[in-house]
Amino acid sequence: AENRPRVWVSQPLFDDIVERLGEYFEVDATREVTAWSPAQVAEKLRGADGALVTLNERIGAEAIAGAATLRAIANVGVGYNNLDVAALKARGIVATNTPDVLTETTADMAFALLMAAARRITEGERWLREGRWTQWSFDTLLGGDVHGSTLGILGMGRIGQGIARRGAHGFGMRVLYHNRSRLPDGIESNCRAAYVDFDTLLAESDHLVLVLPYSPATHHVIDSAALAKMKPTATLTNIARGGLVDEDALADALAGGWLSSAALDVFEGEPAVNPKLLALRNVVLTPHAGSASLATRRAMATLAVDNMIAALGRGPQAGNPPTPITGKATAKR
Ligand code: 8YV
């Protein structure tokens, strides 16, 4: 066992899946959910050959500075803004993520949130639990329609396309999207989605969903100027990364009636949530749970384990991890 590569697993995943790493590696598996400090991450990486990490762990130049033997980072998640891909690349460290396996589950969540915002589901439940339902009335908690409305998607990667298909095929929505580049005709027609510029997307969407990767280029892409271009009857759903939205500006728009409602699964300072948002009734808040179905979380852990085994040159796919991160950090995925 002396010369076996060492792999750190930063958070508890599924024991039976993580166990597979033990066939090839000395595994340092974290047994309890842990808020690792940057210094602790650096310490864990020192002496490791590989690490499975989550969005909780920031893997940048400082984290890997003392990690002379580190060869592979397997990110458990499709978004990898927690990784400094350039710094890893410069050191020849292979980085992988978990695309595809979470696409449909996350698209489901986007729709759940969009519908909850439009139809005021969580607001209604809170109202009921507060004992305020004393008599049925015609005009209680009136919301906006989903079916037949215009769905706007910002960021048309795999998850965006899943949301588009749900909207077009399931709810008869008109689907507009904006993306760094236009999709091939075949994909556009499959999703029944039309490419528009950013301002048109903002102006015409009844329900806008954010599915962009987060990077300096997309920081606060939804700011007060963008919000001002949206319909006052519109909803905004964010299932991507909190930093895409200026939360103070969003809270002002929701409080001021310039935006009907929002649904947020991700937050700029998560797990802390902006108190201005917490104070509002017309926002649905969930704890970064877009990919949180049991089957999908198991598939993500399995893929991360497969990536690690292959990246460290073991197993049937030795040297060829199934889902390496290849492009720039901002690449459309
Ligand atoms: C993960 C996510 O739970 O895949 C992503 O980008 O945000 C979530 O599915 C998270 O990344 C865990 O690290």
- Which tens digits make up the pLDDT trace of 262-313? 999 999 999 999 999 999 999 999 999 999 999 999 999 999 999 999 999 9
Find out whether the beta carbon of 212 lies less than 6 Å from any atom of ligand 1. Answer: no
Residue 241 has pLDDT above 60, yes or no: yes
Residues 281 and 126 sit within 8 Å (Cβ to Cβ): yes
Cα(9)–Cα(13) distance, integer angstroms: 8
**Please, what is the Cα angle at 69 between 63 and 75, to 5 degrees?**
55
Q: Where are the alpha helices (DSSP H) in the chain?
A: 15-18, 38-45, 61-64, 85-90, 103-118, 121-129, 158-165, 171, 185-191, 198-204, 224-228, 247-256, 275-278, 294-311
Atom of ligand 1 at shortest distance to CA of 290? 9
Domain 103-285 fold? Rossmann fold (3.40.50)
Q: Give per-residue pLDDT as tens, 73-112.
A: 999 999 999 999 999 999 999 999 999 999 999 999 999 9
First to last CA, the chain: 39
Per-residue model confidence as pLDDT tens digits over 144-162: 999 999 999 999 999 999 9
Q: Is 77 in the pocket of ligand 1 (CB under 6 A)?
A: yes
37-86: per-residue pLDDT in tens?
A: 999 999 999 999 999 999 999 999 999 999 999 999 999 999 999 999 99
Distance 17 CA to ligand 1 centre (A): 18
pLDDT digits (tens, 9 = 90+) for 196-232: 999 999 999 999 999 999 999 999 999 999 999 999 9
Pocket lining: 79 vs ligand 1, CB cutoff 6 Å? yes
pLDDT band at 332 (very low <50, low <70, confident <90, very high): very low
- CA of 98 relative to ligand 1 center, distance in Å: 9
Measured by CA distance, the residue closest to atom 1 of ligand 1 is: 77
Amino acid at 224: S
Q: Cβ-count burial of 201 within 10 angstroms (0-12 exposed, 13-18 middle, 19+ buried)?
A: buried
| Contact in structure between 232 and 257 (CB atoms under 8 Å) | yes
Residue 78 CA, ligand 1 centroid: distance in Å: 6
DSSP letters spanning 247-312 = HHHHHHHHHHTSS-EEEES--TTTTS--HHHHT-SSEEE--S-TT--HHHHHHHHHHHHHHHHHHT
* Ligand 1 contacts CB of residue 290 (under 6 A): yes
Q: Which amino acid is at 209?
A: V
Which pLDDT value is given to residue 331?
39
How many A from CA of 119 to the centre of ligand 1?
27
Q: In the CATH scheme, what architecture does the domain 6-101+294-311 have?
A: 3-Layer(aba) Sandwich (3.40)
Q: Do domains 6-101+294-311 and 103-285 have the same CATH topology?
A: yes
**What percent of the chain is predicted at pLDDT more than 90?**
97
CA distance 158 to 163: 9
Nearest CA to ligand 1 atom 2: 77
pLDDT at 329 over 50: no
* pLDDT attached to residue 2: 62
- The answer to whether the CB of 55 is under 6 A from ligand 1 is yes
Q: Where in the chain are the domains?
A: 6-101+294-311, 103-285
Nearest CA to ligand 1 atom 11: 77
Q: How far apart are CA 220 and CA 26, in angstroms?
A: 42
Query: For ligand 1, is residue 201 a contact (CB within 6 Å)?
Result: no
Catalytic residues: 241, 270, 288
From the CA of 240, give the closest atom in ligand 1: 7
CB of 102 shorter than 6 A to ligand 1: yes
Structure tokens at 172: 């008869």
Residue among 288, 296, 297, 298 to mutate when testing ligand 1 (max atoms within 8 A of CB): 288
What pLDDT score was predicted for residue 327? 67
